[in-house]
Chains A and B, each alone.
Chain A
Amino acid sequence: MFSSKFSLKFATSVAIGCIIAAQAQAEETNYPLTVENCGHTLTFDAAPESTITVGQSTTEILYLLGLSDKVKGTSVWFNPVLPEFEAVNAKIERLDDNAPSFESVVNKKPDLVTVMYEWHVGAEGIISTRESFHDVGVPTYVMPTDCAAKDNSVGIDGTRSELFSTAQLYTSIEQLAEIYNAKDAGAKLVADLKAREAAAIAKAEGLKLDENTSGLFWFSSADMDIDPYVAGQKGVPAYMMDKLGVKNVVDSGEEWPTVGWETIAKADPTFIVIAEMDRRRFPADDVEKKREFLMNDPVAKEMTAVKEGRIITIDAHAMSPTVRAIFALEKVSDELAGFGLNQ
């Protein structure tokens, strides 16, 4: 059952992907192109030749689309670039590891600024609002992953009204591909990712986890013993748990709420996923420090997940709306399979 379902889905996805890719081969973008994007209407007379990216996810999507030569500067990095793009990325100027200033972006006179999060460029953006970019003739594109069914004025990291869906990610890839006259590359990338996602979902569903299985995704904590930042009900980790058929022990609808260890321990998750990142600002950024806490804290160490050693490490950036989320779903499924939790 498991393998046939798996291979069928996989084969179907690949086949569809191939068909789309084949059809798209000849497809050119018709300019002027109008794109509806997070409450703004963008019009492009031609494909942008120079881009500044604000957010690692948009940077990597452009690389995956083969558009690295259109990227003149990058910013807002969370983790190292995907290994296959190390060489490409090394040649492109990094305006800032974190948020660049408004002027440093505008000074590059980009044809387009692509944005991952509205808290960088948006209504309360720390870099600036989209309007102020548009006022100086620099268009901005915000990934739908951060605005479709998401209210960024509620909660510290915004609050989604619906569960995150990879459809938003695919829309983003397709829109960017169309804007840059690379629809064929976009279709191929989306097809590849959908196939990979379908395989991961099939694997997750194939696990047939007990219906009481629950999980916790721990991103980091502002101080080691303090209430941690954990994944809420509707973000990317929630999408993973939904696909795995696992209950999130965190009730909050916020993207990254802080929840006390007392509440978490009483909910006693079956497994815990911890984020690995290069950032070293909070002690808990270090994945080893997270493990150390779980093993030694008088309450945390009594949780079933910790006692049974069911702790999974994934890329922190995979807990955000990125292509890495799909890769991580695969990894979590694989590791869960090793815990012998299936019925």
Chain B
Amino acid sequence: MTAVDRPIQRWSNWHWGVIAPPVLLVALVAGAALGETRIPIDVVLQVLANKLFASGYPVERIDEGIVWNYRLARAVVAACCGAGLALSGVVLQALLRNALADPYLLGISAGASTGAVAVTVAGLGGGAISLSVGSFGGALLAFGLVAMLAHAAGGGVGLRAAGVIVLAGIAGSQLFNALTAFLIAKSANAEQARGIMFWLLGNLSGVRWEDVVSVVPAAVFGLVVCLFNTRALDAFTFGSDSAASLGIAVRRVKLGLIGIAALVTAVMVSIVGSIGFVGLVIPHAMRIVVGTRHGRLVPASALAGAVFLIAADVISRVIIPGQVLPIGVVTALIGAPVFAFILIGGRTSS
């Protein structure tokens, strides 16, 4: 991991500002161009030109709707979720000094499942609450409970505190998973249970521009907060004690960052379900590629997470004609071998 001879690790922070936008743009256009059905690239570009610059090319309205309302909205949401989840993973892995930490460690995905099931299966809210609101509420409730448990269990600073948070997260997740199972067993028929499970595994098919309004601010907010705290994240990587010795308000920064990671994750999960793998593996992969310094790791992870999830979404739509795979399946199926490759490559060259 100390292989400083690789050019990408010598990039300073501002390089990312130059590189990220065009890469992201290409990924977004690819997301808009590729899908279940074949729409010629010139039509795709005409639609984008029409919408962005009012160019007035004559295009079929169905094509226009598909490219703009379905695919592009989807790609934007995928990018935001990928970035948000990857950043949450970076933050939690650094703060908890645990290589296995991922955004769902704090009970968020379990809580989101419970909330979603409470709304759709148990009928909470009598139709007035949407699935997204239900799962967001559940995620926050679960995180709140985990945070309270971790606080009550005490722990002060250092590795013990990190351990307590991880254990509290496990307890909270188990509790909420059990609640979900209870609600399904009590009130769902099998068809509903399957429908909701499909959603919980991660699904971008229902994403529209309305959802962009909540995920873009969450992702941008998460990124900005991380960029402002790269020094603190670096310090925490060496432990809370060394962070404190560097003059960082350990408790305040730690709680703030964990809370923000939880909030960002909760927003993402409530829109697209629990897409696994991204938050756990992208930070590790990027550590191998760009090194452990958060000044580079944060932008690299955000960009890689965004591009990776756009790609995974496209693949989930095109790999089996006429059928859309759950994106969580794709992220793991594609992600695991890619990660294995990076892992082996990182070891041999360092």
Residues of B within 8 A of A227 (CB): 203, 205-206, 324
Interface string of A208-229 (1 = CB under 8 A from B): 0000000000000011111101
Given known pairs A99-B190, A222-B195, the reply for A259 and B322 (CB within 8 Å) is yes
Are B190 and A260 in contact, with the CB atoms below 8 A? no
Residues 61-101 of B, flagged 1 when their CB comes within 8 A of A and 0 if not, give: 11001101111000000000000000000000000000000
Verify B69–A258 contact, CB threshold 8 A: no
Interface status of B234 (Cβ within 8 A of chain A): no
Name A226's closest neighbour in chain B (CB-CB): B206
Partner of A224, one of B123, B189, B206: B206
Distance, CA A257 to CA B323, complexed state (A): 8
**Alpha-carbon gap, A156 to B120, bound state (A):** 20
Q: How far is it, in angstroms, between the C-alpha of A76 and the C-alpha of B208 when the chains are bound?
A: 35
The number of A-B residue pairs with CB atoms under 8 Å apart is: 94
Contact A282 B66 (CB under 8 A): no
Q: Judge whether A262 and B322 touch: CB under 8 Å.
A: no
Question: 1/0 per position for A97-110, CB-CB distance to B under 8 A?
Answer: 11100000000000
State A259–B324 Cα separation when bound (angstroms): 7
Q: How many chain A residues touch B (Cβ–Cβ < 8 Å)?
A: 37
For residue A126, which residues in chain B have a CB less than 8 angstroms away from its CB? Answer: 190
Return the CB mask of A261-277 against B: 1 if under 8 Å, else 0. Answer: 11101101000000000
Task: Note all chain B residues with C-beta closer than 8 A to A133.
Answer: none
Please, which residues of chain A bring their CB within 8 A of the CB of B35? 260, 262
Q: How far is the CA of A227 from the CA of B202 in the complex (A)?
A: 13
CB distance from A299 to the nearest CB of B (A): 4
Q: How far is the CA of A229 from the CA of B323 in the complex (A)?
A: 12
Q: Do B317 and A225 touch (CB < 8 A)?
A: no
Q: In the complex, which residues of chain A have a beta carbon less than 8 angstroms from the beta carbon of B203?
A: 226-227
- Residue A251 CB within 8 A of the other chain: yes
Is B196 part of the binding interface, using a Cβ–Cβ cutoff of 8 Å? yes
Task: Flag whether B192 is at the interface (Cβ < 8 A).
Answer: yes
| A99 touching B189, Cβ below 8 Å | yes
Residues of A within 8 A of B199 (CB): 222-223, 226
Tell me which residues across on chain B come within 8 A of A263, comparing CB atoms.
36-37, 322
Residue pairs across A and B with Cβ atoms less than 8 A apart, 21 shown, are A76-B189, A98-B188, A98-B189, A99-B189, A120-B190, A222-B196, A225-B208, A227-B206, A250-B322, A251-B322, A259-B324, A262-B71, A263-B36, A266-B37, A266-B62, A266-B66, A281-B121, A282-B120, A297-B65, A298-B68, A299-B65
Binding site for B on A (CB under 8 A): 76, 97-99, 119-120, 126, 156, 222-227, 229, 250-252, 257-263, 265-266, 268, 280-283, 297-299, 302-303
